A and B are shown apart, each in its own frame.
Chain A
Amino acid sequence: MSNVQPLKAESIHLSYGTLQVLKGVSLTVNASEGVVLLGANGCGKSSLMRVLNGLERPQQGSVEVFGKPVTGARGSGLRAIRRQMGYVFQQFNLVPQLSAFQNVLLGLLGQRPFGLIGCMSPLASAEDRERAMACLERVGMSDRAMHRPAELSGGQQQRVAIARMLMQSPTIVIADEPVASLDPRAGRQVLELLWEIVRERQLSMLCTLHQVELAREFADRIVGIKAGATALDAPAETIELSAINALYETA
Chain B
Amino acid sequence: MLPLKLLNYLPLMPFMKPHNTTNPAMPPRFRRPSVVTWVIAISFAAFFIQGLIAADVTLDRLVRGASNIVRFLGQAFPPDFSRHESVAWAMLETLNIAVVGVTFGCLLSVPLALLAARNTAPNAIVRTLARFVISVARTIPDLIWALIFVVTVGLGPLAGILAIIMDTIGFAARFYSERFEEVGKGPSEALTATGAGRLSVIFGAIIPESFASMTATSLFSVEKAIRSAVTLGLVGAGGIGVELSTSMRLFRYDQAAAIILLILVAVIGFEQLSSAIRKRIINGEGVPQG
Interface positions of A (Cβ within 8 A of B):
53, 55, 79-83, 85-87, 89, 91-98, 106-111, 115-116, 119, 148-151, 154, 161, 164, 168
Contacts and interface: CB of A to CB of B under 8 A. Distances in A.
Contacts of A111: 195
B290 to A, nearest CB: 8
Given A150-B288, A151-B286, A95 B192 contact: no
Among A80, A87, A94, A109, max chain B CB count under 10 A is at A109
B205 interface: yes
Contact of A110 (B187, B195, B199): B195
B196 interface: yes
Interface in B211-225: 211-212
Contact of B208 (A83, A97, A168): A97
Nearest to A181: B290
Interface string B166-196: 0000000000000000000011011111111
B195 A97 contact: no
A69 B213 CA distance: 41
B190 A116 contact: no
A79 B195 contact: yes
B209 A95 contact: yes
A115 B285 CA distance: 26
B89 interface: no
A61 B251 CA distance: 83
Contact of B187 (A81, A95, A150, A151): A95
A81 B193 contact: no
B147 to A, nearest CB: 41
A144 to B, nearest CB: 14
B95 to A, nearest CB: 31
A150 B211 contact: no
Contacts of A79: 195-197
A138 B200 CA distance: 26
Contacts of A115: 196-197, 199-200, 203-204
B190 A81 contact: no
Contacts of B204: 95, 106, 109, 115-116, 119
Nearest to A84: B195
B287 interface: yes
**Interface SS of B by simple majority:** helix
Interface residues of B, number: 27
Contacts, number: 88
B187 A82 contact: no
Contacts of B187: 93-96
Contact of B193 (A55, A80, A95): A55
Closest 10 CB pairs of A and B: A110-B195, A115-B200, A83-B195, A109-B196, A82-B195, A93-B190, A93-B186, A87-B193, A79-B195, A97-B208
Contacts of B287: 150
A51 B211 CA distance: 31
Given A93-B187, A148-B286, A53 B209 contact: no
Contacts of B197: 79, 110, 115
A97 B213 CA distance: 12
Given A148-B286, A150-B288, A150-B289, A95 B208 contact: yes
A96 B289 contact: yes
Contacts of B208: 95, 97-98
B35 to A, nearest CB: 37
A38 to B, nearest CB: 22
Contacts of A98: 208
A12 to B, nearest CB: 18
Contacts of B189: 55, 89, 93
A168 B205 CA distance: 17
A46 B193 CA distance: 14
24 contacts: A55-B192, A79-B195, A79-B197, A82-B195, A83-B194, A86-B194, A87-B194, A89-B189, A94-B190, A97-B208, A97-B209, A97-B211, A108-B194, A109-B191, A109-B200, A110-B196, A110-B200, A115-B196, A150-B288, A150-B289, A151-B286, A154-B290, A168-B194, A168-B195
A146 B190 CA distance: 20
Contact of B289 (A55, A89, A109, A149): A149
Nearest to B202: A116
A81 B196 CA distance: 11
Given A89-B190, A115-B199, 8 more contacts: A55-B189, A79-B196, A93-B189, A97-B208, A109-B191, A110-B195, A110-B200, A119-B204
